[in-house]
Amino acid sequence: MISELNIKDLGVIANSTIALGSGFTAITGETGAGKTMIVTALGLLMGERSDAALVREGASQARITGIIETVKSQVLDIVDEVGGETEEGELLITRTVNVDSVSRAGVGGARCPVRVLSRLASEIFCVHGQNDQLRLRTQHEQRETLDRFGGAAVSAARAAYESVYTRRLELEREHTNITENREQRRQQAEQLRRAVEDISLVDPQPDEIELLRARIEKLGNLESLRANLARAVNVLAAEGSDATQCDAQMLIGQAAQAAQDAASVDKTLSDAVEQLQDIATRLQDVTADLVRYSDDLEGGSEAELEQAQQRIAELTRLERVYGTSLQGLWEYHDIAAERLSVFSDDDTRLQEITAELEELRSRQTEAAAKLTELRQAAAAVLGERVTAELAALALSDSSFLVEIRSQEPTITGADEIAFMLIPYTGAAPKPLSKTASGGELSRIMLALEVVLAGSDPVPTFVFDEIDAGIGGAAAIEVGKRLAKLAQSAQVIVVTHLAQVAAFADNHLSITKDASGGFTQSSCKQLSGDARLAETARLLSGLSDSESALQHAAELVAMGRAELKNYR
């Protein structure tokens, strides 16, 4: 709902703030006062094309600001997307038009492209005017409206149909992919098979390359290893019968014996004796380990070195060919094996798809027929209700109907939906936009919106000159229906008929003043005697005529009584 509209330097309006509020707001004023400028201002906030000629003469730019009360998630998502903010449920929308034709837009304090306003408008506003296109102008919008009017039954039938339709498309794409890419899939399967066999045959192990490189380093230095080990063992435990030759074990043994002899005299040396004996034991263990290692080196050969080098080359090749590390080769192997199982089962899969498709096509036909049947029932009710509304709006010879024609199935069903009007008895049905004048079209849309109000709500409706070409009882019926529509939405109406304005919750008057040498318009809210005077002016052209004032009071009282009935 738009709660406040500020218009500055737009046409004849210099600066005016219009408090709109909820319910039904009627905007009246003399011809040329600027009533249509309010609709123009709303259109600019909705993202309509700007025109530099709209800028008030002498001003550099026109500026329109609207405060929108909204918690609608679709609106908030768009605001977040452009970086704007709402404050306590209020959204500020701005639009400026410069004399050089440059136009700018703002949403929630953030600059944004004008096209963003058009996206917001579809969630906030609906304008029905003399030159405006219909809100329900496309087949898509008409189909969606009919389906919402059809309620839960149509919604469930459509969901069931969409589920079958979507599954059928998925299977048909899979069938096409298999059949049209058979050779390519065969080649891919062969590549996957080679990869699985290659990795399985080599059987790479984690960290294997590092271990092999260490082995190669060892095998490449066998002679140096053997010489150094022999020297170390000789120092620890010398071989031979030379009595003068001493090794580490002998020296430590001698030291341990001498310490033990000393300990027989002084017991405090016992710890030293134990430590020397432990060292002697450990030297024997180390010597044994070195001897064993040296013996193992005797098995090393050039053949083993060559084998290790070939193994590294093979592992490196796998990493290069499959583009992954040694640790990732088995993961690649498992993925390839899984994909191979899919490719290898093409014939079986095609048989399964063919069987399921046959069933799905049958189910889709049934689901589409069910959806069509429910839409036809909803279309008949919608047509009857709108036609009944038209009769009360001075369009008694007109009939509204919803045509449902067969079409190639799509995600939304097998139905082409068209909102049609028979303008007079015996005439052929024609699309709404091609069968009525601007004022008639607004009344037709009013009838449609009243019927749809419960199932297809719009936050704000704007009707411009909806009462063109009517008067008397028909105008009263228009006023009643606008008041009825205002029970579920905000309704803003530009009117020149007292019979319409009398049913408004909020009556605004646009007045023109040329006393200062230039013309400017302003807006004020009417109540009490001021409202009666304006209503009388609309009736007779005279705001102080006793008979007109009496008739005005009667109309306003009728409007208040009607509003009480709705509440």
pLDDT at res. 372 = 96
**Regarding beta strands 61-69 and 2-10, do their DSSP bridges make them parallel or antiparallel, or are they unpaired?**
antiparallel
The answer to whether the CB of 481 falls within 8 A of the CB of 463 is no
Give the list of residues 6+ apart from residue 212 with CB closer than 8 angstroms, or none. Answer: 308, 311, 312, 315
Q: How far apart are CA 183 and CA 343, in angstroms?
A: 11
Residue 79 neighbours by CB distance under 10 Å: 24
Q: How far is CA 77 from CA 85, 104, 119, 128, in A?
A: 10, 21, 11, 26
48-63 per-position pLDDT tens digit:
888 888 888 888 999 9
Q: How far is CA 59 from CA 32, 63, 103, 194, 513, in A?
A: 20, 10, 15, 78, 18
The answer to whether the CB of 489 falls within 8 A of the CB of 453 is yes
140-190 per-position pLDDT tens digit:
888 988 998 999 999 999 999 999 999 999 999 988 888 777 667 777 778
Among candidate residues 294, 304, 311, 295, the one with its CA nearest the CA of residue 220: 304
The answer to whether the CB of 486 falls within 8 A of the CB of 23 is yes
357-375 per-position pLDDT tens digit:
999 999 999 999 999 999 9
Q: Tokens for 116?
A: 């963003």
pTM, to two decimals: 0.62
Q: How far apart are CA 478 and CA 493, in angstroms?
A: 11
Q: Tokens for 280?
A: 């002697």
Among candidate residues 457, 441, 443, 444, the one with its CA nearest the CA of residue 1: 457
Which amino acid is residue 313, in one-letter code? A
The answer to whether the CB of 12 falls within 8 A of the CB of 56 is yes
- DSSP annotation string for 54-113: GBPTT-SEEEEEEEEE---HHHHHHHHHHT---BTTEEEEEEEEETTS-EEEEETTEEE-
pLDDT at res. 318 = 86
The answer to whether the CB of 14 falls within 8 A of the CB of 520 is yes
**Which residue ranges of the chain lie beneath pLDDT 50?**
133, 243
**Residue ranges of domains in the chain:** 1-134+458-525
pLDDT at res. 14 = 85
Q: How far apart are CA 526 and CA 38, in angstroms?
A: 17
The answer to whether the CB of 233 falls within 8 A of the CB of 287 is yes
Q: How far apart are CA 28 and CA 20, in angstroms?
A: 13
8-28 per-position pLDDT tens digit:
988 888 888 888 888 999 988
pLDDT at res. 200 = 84
Give the list of residues 6+ apart from residue 308 with CB closer than 8 angstroms, or none. Answer: 212, 215, 216, 219
Q: Which CATH architecture has domain 1-134+458-525?
A: 3-Layer(aba) Sandwich (3.40)
* Secondary structure of residue 517 in the 3-state scheme: coil
Q: Which helix (DSSP H) or strand (DSSP E) does residue 518 occupy?
A: none
Q: Which helix (DSSP H) or strand (DSSP E) does residue 128 occupy?
A: strand 125-128
* Secondary structure of residue 388 in the 3-state scheme: helix
Q: How far apart are CA 246 and CA 532, in angstroms?
A: 134
Q: How far apart are CA 60 and CA 330, in angstroms?
A: 72
pLDDT at res. 299 = 57
Biggest CA–CA distance in the chain, Å, is: 152
The answer to whether the CB of 216 falls within 8 A of the CB of 309 is yes
Among candidate residues 434, 439, 455, 363, the one with its CA nearest the CA of residue 395: 439
Q: Tokens for 12?
A: 């004849």
The answer to whether the CB of 259 falls within 8 A of the CB of 269 is yes
List residues bridging with 521 in a β-sheet: 13, 512
